[in-house]
Amino acid sequence: MALTILGLSGALTHDPSAALYIDGKLVAAAEEERFVRDKHAKNRMPYEAAKFCLEFAGIRPTDVDAVAIPYAPISLLEKARWHYARRYLYAPDRALDAIFAGNRRYYRYKKRIEWCLTQLGFDLKKIEIVPVEHHLAHAASAYHCSGFKEKTAILGIDGKGEYATTFFGYGENGKIHKLKEFYDPDSLGGLYGAITEYLGFEMLDGEYKVMGMAPYGDPKKYDFSRLATFENGELKVNTDYANVIGFRRYKENGKGYYFSPRLVEWLGPKRIGDIADDPYIHYAASMQKLFEDLALQMIDYHLGDILRETGRLAFSGGGALNVKLNQRIIARPEVKELFVQPASGDAGTAVGAAAYISAERGVPVEKMEHVYLGPSFSNEDVIAACAKHPAKPRWEKIDDVPQRIAKILADGNPVAWFQGRMEFGPRALGARSILGCPSAAGVADRINEQIKFRERWRPFCPSMLDTVGPQMLGCEHPAPFMTFTFNVTDEWKHRVPEVVHEDGTSRAQVLERKHNPRYYDLMVELEKLTGNGVVLNTSLNRRGEPMICSPTDALNMFYGSDLEYLVMEDIWATKTIFQE
Ligand SMILES: [Fe+2]
């Protein structure tokens, strides 16, 4: 009998997603935002995503053995609720809530999941819903998906789950053991989020922009050490400044923020607009440095012994998307290999919760080798979408996609690239991407002019052949998911300048052919033309939109931008008259 576990995330009102494990194999996974075309799909349940997973696998609700959810009731006997109550004494109603009604959110969420399952055709009397603590789900999405066989240190950093904000543990023989947790408001991820808000971005969305801004600033100019301390194994965030609720919040135009008026008194007005100037670039640099330094101290204190024993670390939670921290972790002598769950935000907890329950029921899950887990579309689907589209696109079926597209790229043109199954997680990895030739001067600017309109200080990233990775990055560490930055070697800085960041690093995807043959072959063709088996790769979407899912989404985006070339499977669509 097959063991079929459906994981559903969305407990924290953002990033709902679904993931389906059948007999330990991750058959399908997708984020709700892609289907409903609403970034982060806030306050939604993963209805479309779950529907896709079941349909893709060709199974019915009655075939599912259990639904795993990454949010669980927390006992009053645990430290979590008491810590919260004590630290939020200045907001007595919330503090008392944590003691007397501390699982209210869980019950509210469970009701919504039950509603969603009913809509999907599940019989609530027959289906078992299994709660998994939020940080255990993050931990499982890292450890169980890592494929590591040795004893593995596990780290989780996010804003917060039920109460926990940070998780330290280890995995051994397929089992996860919890060593230590920190609780709200003592959250390093939350602090980064608060400063993200102060710097004018949205929390749970703009953190990577702060990270992109940081290299332009000087972290020594402003000392941020007062914001948080790590002593005797405990993290303490200074709630005079950040991670605040209730009356301590800074308010502007009726909106309350996660930082306090005192932070504004200290650092000056909250940043507005797209500027990346003094002093805000220095604040970004200081926050990034504090985050890295504290995270490394925490890792050393709580996980150092395990790392010195086996050198394996599995990392998840929103904080694991901090590619600069990850670079510093890999540089530690005791770390031999770091696995970062590619969907480290809350979308990945659907995978984690399902993997956790699968493993607990005796079916260990396979290593997560790639993220091509979403819907795919045939040439016929693409042609039908073109026929239906009001812009009446010109299209042609071509049989040499890698060669043709490589030529267009080498001529300095951006190309919208839509191939195979959609990626799971926030990174475009060659299934729904906008591509450019990284040695073509000005291509990043052209992509910005035609579609992305990104802040000028935000870098574009490279995908590269596995034969090129070690030469360009000077490092053999696996990098399949764009979860790490690397220092680019001097020679390659000159060869592919369009994908090297201000500080000389690149957030790289190093691709093995077996995971995406067509994308790999494209880079091989580009290498023949330019000498570099590297392509500039950014996600296929307009600013503020979720990544493209279907051919119709791609056509809408194409005609809502100045892009000239779009290739979907073997169908090449352009806005210009064909040359040949
Ligand atoms: Fe989380």
pLDDT in tens, 75-86: 999 999 999 999
Residue 162 C-alpha to ligand 1 middle, in angstroms? 9
Residue 1, pLDDT score:
63
Question: What is the torsion angle, in degrees rounded to the nearest 10, for the CA atoms of residue 325, residue 331, residue 334 and residue 339?
Answer: 60
The pLDDT > 70 percentage for the chain reads 98
For the cut 80, the answer to whether the pLDDT of residue 458 exceeds it is no
**Tokens (6 digits) for 257:** 């923020």
Residue 38, pLDDT score:
95
Residue 545 C-alpha to ligand 1 middle, in angstroms? 21
Number of H helices, E strands in the chain: 19, 24
* Banded pLDDT at 580 (limits 50, 70, 90): very low
For the cut 80, the answer to whether the pLDDT of residue 273 exceeds it is no
Asked whether 211 and 288 are in contact (CB, 8 A), the reply is: yes
Residue 317 C-alpha to ligand 1 middle, in angstroms? 5
Residue 576, pLDDT score:
60
* Banded pLDDT at 11 (limits 50, 70, 90): confident
Q: Is 266 left (phi over 0), alpha (psi -120 to 50) or beta?
A: alpha
Residue 319 C-alpha to ligand 1 middle, in angstroms? 9
- Mean pLDDT in residue range 394-401: 94
Residue 276, pLDDT score:
64
Asked whether 386 and 393 are in contact (CB, 8 A), the reply is: yes
Residue 263 C-alpha to ligand 1 middle, in angstroms? 25
Residue 134 C-alpha to ligand 1 middle, in angstroms? 6
* Banded pLDDT at 399 (limits 50, 70, 90): very high
Residue 47 C-alpha to ligand 1 middle, in angstroms? 20
* Banded pLDDT at 451 (limits 50, 70, 90): confident
* Banded pLDDT at 579 (limits 50, 70, 90): very low
Of 115, 133, 132, whose CA–CA distance to 124 is shortest?
115
The greatest distance separating any two alpha carbons of the chain, rounded to the nearest whole angstrom, comes to 74
> Which residues lie closer than 8 Å to 354 by C-beta, 6 or more apart?
5, 6, 7, 19, 20, 21, 68
Residue 460 C-alpha to ligand 1 middle, in angstroms? 26
Q: Which helix (H) or strand (E) element contains residue 164?
A: strand 164-172
Residue 142 C-alpha to ligand 1 middle, in angstroms? 12
Of 139, 82, 72, 128, whose CA–CA distance to 103 is shortest?
72
Residue 206, pLDDT score:
87
Residue-wise DSSP of 424-469: SSS---SSEEEEE-TTSTTHHHHHIIIII---TTPPPEEEEETTTH
Residue 346 C-alpha to ligand 1 middle, in angstroms? 5
Dihedral sign for Cα 34, 36, 42, 43, please: negative
Residue 374, pLDDT score:
98
Residue 552 C-alpha to ligand 1 middle, in angstroms? 31
- Mean pLDDT in residue range 103-131: 97
**Tokens (6 digits) for 16:** 């709902």
Residue 204 C-alpha to ligand 1 middle, in angstroms? 10
> Which residues lie closer than 8 Å to 566 by C-beta, 6 or more apart?
393, 415, 416, 418, 554, 555, 558, 572, 573, 574
Beta strands per DSSP E along 281-329: 312-316
Residue 411 C-alpha to ligand 1 middle, in angstroms? 43
- 432 backbone dihedrals φ, ψ, rounded to 5°: -130, 80
Could you tell me the pTM of the whole model?
A: 0.96
Residue 93 C-alpha to ligand 1 middle, in angstroms? 24
Residue 217 C-alpha to ligand 1 middle, in angstroms? 29
* Banded pLDDT at 459 (limits 50, 70, 90): confident
Residue 455, pLDDT score:
72
- Mean pLDDT in residue range 104-128: 97
Q: Which residues surround ligand 1, an ion (CB under 5 A)?
A: 158, 346
Residue 321 C-alpha to ligand 1 middle, in angstroms? 12
Residue 140 C-alpha to ligand 1 middle, in angstroms? 12
Q: CA-to-CA distance for 446 and 451, rounded, in angstroms?
A: 8
Residue 275, pLDDT score:
66
Q: What is the pLDDT of residues 170-220, one digit of tens each?
A: 999 999 999 999 999 999 999 999 999 999 998 888 898 999 899 999 999
Average per-residue pLDDT in the chain? Answer: 95
Cis check: omega of the bond before 61, within 30 degrees of 0: no
Residue 9 C-alpha to ligand 1 middle, in angstroms? 10
- Mean pLDDT in residue range 8-16: 92
Alpha helices by DSSP H, listed for 311-331, are: 323-331
For the cut 90, the answer to whether the pLDDT of residue 436 exceeds it is yes
> Which residues lie closer than 8 Å to 58 by C-beta, 6 or more apart?
none
Residue 160 C-alpha to ligand 1 middle, in angstroms? 6
* Banded pLDDT at 238 (limits 50, 70, 90): very high
Compute the C-alpha angle 347/166/103, nearest 5°: 75
For the cut 60, the answer to whether the pLDDT of residue 12 exceeds it is yes
Residue 423 is classified by DSSP as B
Residue 62 C-alpha to ligand 1 middle, in angstroms? 29
Q: Which helix (H) or strand (E) element contains residue 527?
A: helix 517-530
Residue 542, pLDDT score:
92
Residue 78 C-alpha to ligand 1 middle, in angstroms? 19
**Tokens (6 digits) for 23:** 């007999």
Q: What is the pLDDT of residues 135-164, one digit of tens each?
A: 999 999 999 999 999 999 999 999 999 999
- Mean pLDDT in residue range 51-65: 98
CA–CA distances in Å: residue 518 to residues 73, 405, 416, 512: 45, 11, 14, 11
Residue 220 C-alpha to ligand 1 middle, in angstroms? 31
Tokens 């603590």 map to which residue? 133
Sheet holding 129-131, edge to edge: 25-31, 17-22, 4-8, 66-69, 129-131
Residue 230 C-alpha to ligand 1 middle, in angstroms? 21
Residue 578, pLDDT score:
46
Residue 329 C-alpha to ligand 1 middle, in angstroms? 20
**Of 291 and 276, the one with more pLDDT:** 291
**Tokens (6 digits) for 126:** 């027959």
Neighbours of 467 (CB within 10 A): 13
> Which residues lie closer than 8 Å to 117 by C-beta, 6 or more apart?
61, 67, 124, 127, 129
Of 138, 172, 476, 475, whose CA–CA distance to 309 is shortest?
172
Q: What is the pLDDT of residues 279-320, one digit of tens each?
A: 999 999 999 999 999 999 999 999 999 999 999 999 999 999
